[in-house]
Amino acid sequence: MSPMSGPHVVRGSVSLPEAELIWRFSRSSGPGGQHVNTTDTQVELRFDLARTQALPEVWKQRALERLAGRLTDGVVTVRASEHRSQWRNREAAAVRLAALLAEATAPPPRPRRPTRVPRGINERRLREKKQRAQTKRGRSGKGWD
């Protein structure tokens, strides 16, 4: 097979090596006429996350924790069958895998620093609440039947 359109960058200078990607092709389901019955357009891309040397160790551990529900024996699998062309499905699967790994290896967000509500905002809220209550109270009485 011909090489893909380029390295699949996870983040920064880290990319997925083509040698560690395992491709499998099968027939797509759904409509498509005679063409779909004879060509293997569905793509299944597998990447052995547990044994890879392409990712830094910290990233790998983070990804293994976050993707634990998607892994089968340390292997993450991505499928693509939305295009009628195998080539486009290969591209879609590779992009999807790179995006999944980029999200899984991202550093955790900084913890939120708790802040207090400013006194002015609280006072304004209470003032507006009293004004609204006064308006509603004024509606009850004579002339509003």
Average the pLDDT over 15-43 and give the result: 74
Q: Which amino acid is at 31?
A: P
pLDDT at 128 over 90: yes
d(CA 144, CA 69): 62
What would the pLDDT profile of 84-105 be if each residue is shown by its tens digit?
788 888 889 989 998 888 888 8
- The CA-to-CA distance between both ends of the chain, in Å, stands at 83
| pLDDT value at 123 more than 70 | yes
For the entire predicted model, the pTM comes to: 0.65
Give the separation between CA 49 and CA 72, rounded to whole angstroms: 10
DSSP string, 1-55: ----SS-EEEETTEEE-GGGEEEEEEPPPS--THHHHH---EEEEEEETTT-SSS
The pLDDT tens digits for 69-82 are 888 888 899 988 88
Mean predicted confidence (pLDDT) in 122-132: 96
Residue 20 pLDDT > 60: yes
Q: What pLDDT does residue 1 have?
A: 42
